Each structure stands twice: as structure tokens, then as C-alpha cells.
């Protein structure tokens, strides 16, 4: 074979190798895995039944995506016909009747899955509430006895905080958690 044919054969071989290398590069794939971590949410919601002037079966539902501790504040007051809050306070037993659910005082030892009324004025549910789950009954029923042209308002405000880590509820609400049971603050209100 002549020198010229060897050079041509060598050039053809180089071109074939370059084409094959280009094909291999074209067919290679790089994989990337992206881990996305989502944030959980806690979203308390009051559930109740209303029948005329009777409010009953008041519970709190965790509509969030993470287990949460829940607490509620109950404010009972008079409102005039225009919706303004009145200064005089309704008196339990005289102006309205209320029947509480399973509620104990913070000075007594609360059990898991019960309501505890604390000196800070809040009612604490003592165990974490799973997403889309609810507490037991806080108020079995409340009804107006005497109105005199006023409207009785039973306002229930709720708050929620993630149940883990335990430090979250300790720092935010000054509560402790012992053996999975929330212990509300005992101090004076």
C-alpha cells in the first residue's frame, strides 16, 4: 500500500472515531435528583352546632398538615342590635346557661385527651391533634336565658402550634410536655 493510501485510510479511521465519539456523547444522559422538603402547617378551626339561640358540641379541628397542640379562649359578652359590644357583662346562671365538656383546672392533673383551663384564661387540649382530626367537646351547650334587647355572643378564638419539638410549645405558650401530655402554665392570671 502506498503512502498516500495509508494517509487516506488513517484520515478515514480518525473521522470514523470522531463520529463514534460524537454519537456516544450525544447519547449520554446526566441524572439530577432534587429533594424538596415541604413545610407542615397547623390551622385550627372551630366546629359547632347552632340551633336558634343554642350553641352546642363545640370542638376544634386541626385542618393543617402537621400534628398540633391546640388552645382556645372563650369570650362571652353582650352585643347591641347594631353589632357593637356592650360594656355590661352577662352573668352565668342569670343571663345564660353553659354546660362544659370534659374540662378540668390546671391546678389538677389533666389527663391526655382532655381540656384543661389554665390561669392564663386559655383552655388547652392536652394531647397533639393529628391533621384533620379534632378535639373532644369543649362546650356541650350554651344558651341565652335573658336578653332584654341584647344579643349574647359566645366568641371562641383558637390557636395552634406544632407538637414537635416539645420546645416549640414551651417557648410559645410557656407549657411543658410530660410523657406526651401537655401541661399548661399554673401561674396566676
Rounded CA-CA distance 65/43 in Å is: 8
The per-residue pLDDT for 166 is 86
The per-residue pLDDT for 100 is 94
As given in the structure block, the three cell numbers for residue 51 are 340551633
The per-residue pLDDT for 71 is 94
**With bands split at pLDDT 50, 70 and 90, how would you rate the model's confidence at 154?**
very high
Rounded CA-CA distance 185/120 in Å is: 7
Please name the residue ranges forming H helices in the chain: 3-27, 166-173
Please answer whether residues 124 and 186 qualify as being in contact, where contact means their C-beta atoms are separated by less than 8 angstroms: no
**With bands split at pLDDT 50, 70 and 90, how would you rate the model's confidence at 2?**
confident
> For residue range 65-106, what is the model confidence (pLDDT) as tens digits?
999 999 999 999 999 989 899 999 999 999 999 999 988 876
Provide the β-strand partners of residue 154.
76
Rounded CA-CA distance 86/151 in Å is: 10
Amino acid at each position: 500500500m502506498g503512502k498516500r493510501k495509508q494517509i487516506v485510510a488513517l484520515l478515514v479511521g480518525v473521522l470514523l472515531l470522531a463520529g463514534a465519539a460524537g454519537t456516544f456523547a450525544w447519547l449520554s444522559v446526566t441524572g439530577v435528583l432534587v429533594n424538596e422538603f415541604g413545610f407542615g402547617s397547623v390551622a385550627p378551626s372551630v366546629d359547632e352546632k347552632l340551633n336558634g339561640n343554642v350553641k352546642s358540641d363545640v370542638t376544634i379541628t386541626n385542618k393543617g398538615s402537621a400534628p398540633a397542640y391546640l388552645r382556645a379562649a372563650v369570650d362571652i359578652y353582650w352585643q347591641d342590635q347594631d353589632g357593637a359590644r356592650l360594656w355590661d357583662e352577662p352573668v352565668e346562671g342569670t343571663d345564660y346557661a353553659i354546660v362544659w365538656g370534659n374540662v378540668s383546672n390546671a391546678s389538677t392533673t389533666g389527663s391526655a385527651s382532655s381540656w384543661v383551663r389554665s390561669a392564663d384564661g386559655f383552655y388547652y387540649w392536652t394531647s397533639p391533634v393529628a391533621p384533620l382530626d379534632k378535639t373532644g367537646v369543649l362546650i356541650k351547650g350554651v344558651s341565652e336565658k335573658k336578653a332584654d334587647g341584647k344579643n349574647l355572643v359566645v366568641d371562641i378564638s383558637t390557636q395552634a402550634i406544632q407538637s414537635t419539638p416539645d420546645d416549640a410549645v414551651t417557648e410559645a405558650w410557656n407549657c411543658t410536655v410530660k410523657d406526651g401530655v401537655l401541661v399548661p402554665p399554673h401561674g396566676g392570671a
